[in-house]
């Protein structure tokens, strides 16, 4: 199975700009050879946005799995008899 998200062309710039801004994308970065200068970012805005979306999805999946594991652990603990004399 594959999940595809389609953004209409008329909305693409808005989506790219919004996600890039929200995640602090910089069109230029410090030049590693001369920190007094900047150079164009080697990661395009579209590449950056895709990476941010993938990272956000991974985080949501892990968070959801953690919540489910926590609930399962609580349910198991609540069903466990504890005999103390």
Token couple for 62: 């892990």
Q: Looking at the predicted structure, is the pLDDT value of residue 58 above 90?
A: yes
Check pLDDT > 90 for residue 6.
yes
| Residue that wins the pLDDT comparison between 80 and 8 | 8
Alpha-helical segments (H) within 1-85: 9-22, 45-79
Integer distance in angstroms from the first to the last C-alpha of the chain? 54
Q: Which residue has the tokens 């953690």?
A: 66
Please state the pTM of the whole predicted model: 0.78
C-beta separation of 31 from 37 below 8 A: yes
Q: Check whether 9 has a pLDDT greater than 80.
A: yes
What secondary structure letter does DSSP report for 39? E
80 — pLDDT class (breaks 50, 70, 90) = confident
């Amino acid at each position: 199975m594959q999940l595809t998200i389609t953004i209409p062309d008329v909305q693409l710039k808005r989506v790219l700009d919004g996600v890039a801004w929200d995640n602090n994308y910089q069109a230029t970065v410090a030049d590693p050879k001369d920190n007094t200068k900047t150079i164009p970012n080697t990661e395009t805005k579209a590449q950056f946005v895709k990476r941010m979306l993938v990272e956000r999805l991974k985080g949501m999946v892990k968070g959801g799995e953690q919540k489910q594991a926590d609930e399962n652990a609580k349910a198991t603990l609540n069903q466990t008899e504890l005999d103390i004399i």
